[in-house]
Amino acid sequence: MNDQYQKGMATRKAVLGDEYVEQSINNATHFTKPLQRLVTEYCWGNVWQREGLEKSERSLINLAMIAVLNRPHELELHLRGALKNGLTPVQIREVLLQVAIYAGVPASIDAFRVATKVLKDAGIDLNDLSEL
């Protein structure tokens, strides 16, 4: 594997978790292996490696785009990654409110539903956040 793939794999694991990434790679078939390589090499090994945005900023952007696209599985995954990248529940809430205004309330409602589950799973008491 090339350097871009290796960097991508390291970043992908740091954000999404070793277990998830290893499962994705190990479960790939001959049909899906090219997609796994593309995502690892170009998404994680190229775009996520660029200067100009912090990983937390990239997470904010991803949350908004994935919420708008109504991709709950990917949203859950990237919400967990966003927490690893240092986003707070308040930042997550604010980006999802932004989605409501610019992309539609139904998309935001579904995204809040997924985010609530992820935050609760992370042990965050959503009724006891002084910053909320």
In the predicted structure, residue 34 carries a pLDDT above the cut 80: yes
Interatomic CA distance for residues 131 and 128, integer angstroms:
9
Report, as an integer, the average pLDDT of 101-123: 97
Q: Which two tokens stand for residue 1?
A: 């594997």
| Residue found by looking up tokens 């910053």 in the block | 131
| Pair (123, 73) in one structural domain | yes
Q: Are residues 33 and 98 in the same domain?
A: no
Judge if 122 and 92 occupy the same domain.
yes
End-to-end CA distance of the chain: 45
* Residues 61 and 16 occupy one common structural domain: no
The residue-averaged pLDDT of 51-77 equals: 97
- Average pLDDT, integer, range 23-29: 96
Per-residue pLDDT at 114 exceeds 70: yes
Q: Taking the CA atoms of the chain, what radius of gyration do you get in angstroms? A: 15
Shared-domain flag, residues 27 and 60: no
64 and 37 in one domain? no
Q: What is the domain extent for residue 130?
A: 53-132
The answer to whether residue 132 scores a pLDDT higher than 70 is: no
Identify the CA nearest to 114 among candidates 73, 59, 54, 57. Answer: 73
Supply the pTM of this predicted model. Answer: 0.90
